[in-house]
């Protein structure tokens, strides 16, 4: 299976379990790896035969900016579902970064990584 990756998609969302996270929001960063067969697109040089990663990026940002959830696990699941709706995408790895998580000790990043496959 071939891979198309989008790294570092940034959007502001209001996800989290604490009132401050919901009220003020914070930046979330999303990395995606889409699994699909790119041979038909390459053979015909045809965008319609692959995934349009620009559209996927816009949809992912809309999810992050959309309805708040408590957990980034839930956010990752929603993002995976959006990606798998695209024809040809057979699997997706989603990494949601929450670099401003409310943690009381020094840290660089918090991430949740999930992999989902088309049924």
Q: Which residues are catalytic?
A: 98
Distance CA(80)–CA(105), nearest Å, equals 30
- Tally helices (H) and strands (E) across the chain: 4, 4
* Torsion angle defined by CA atoms of residues 2, 6, 31 and 12, in that order, rounded to the nearest 10 degrees: -150
Q: Report CA torsion sign: 49, 55, 61, 67.
A: negative
Q: Which residues contact 44 (CB under 8 A, 6 or more apart)?
A: none
Give the residues across from 28 on adjacent strands.
11
């Amino acid at each position: 299976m071939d891979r198309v990756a989008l790294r570092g998609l940034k959007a502001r969302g209001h996800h989290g379990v604490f009132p401050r996270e919901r009220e003020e929001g914070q930046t979330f960063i999303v990395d995606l790896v889409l699994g699909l067969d790119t041979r038909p697109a390459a053979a015909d040089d045809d965008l319609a035969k692959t995934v349009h990663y620009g559209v996927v990026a816009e949809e992912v940002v809309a999810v992050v900016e959309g309805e708040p959830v408590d957990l980034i696990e839930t956010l990752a699941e929603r993002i995976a579902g959006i990606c798998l709706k695209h024809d040809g995408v057979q699997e997706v790895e989603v990494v949601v970064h929450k670099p401003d998580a409310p943690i009381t000790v020094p840290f660089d990043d918090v991430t949740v990584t999930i992999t989902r496959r088309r049924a």
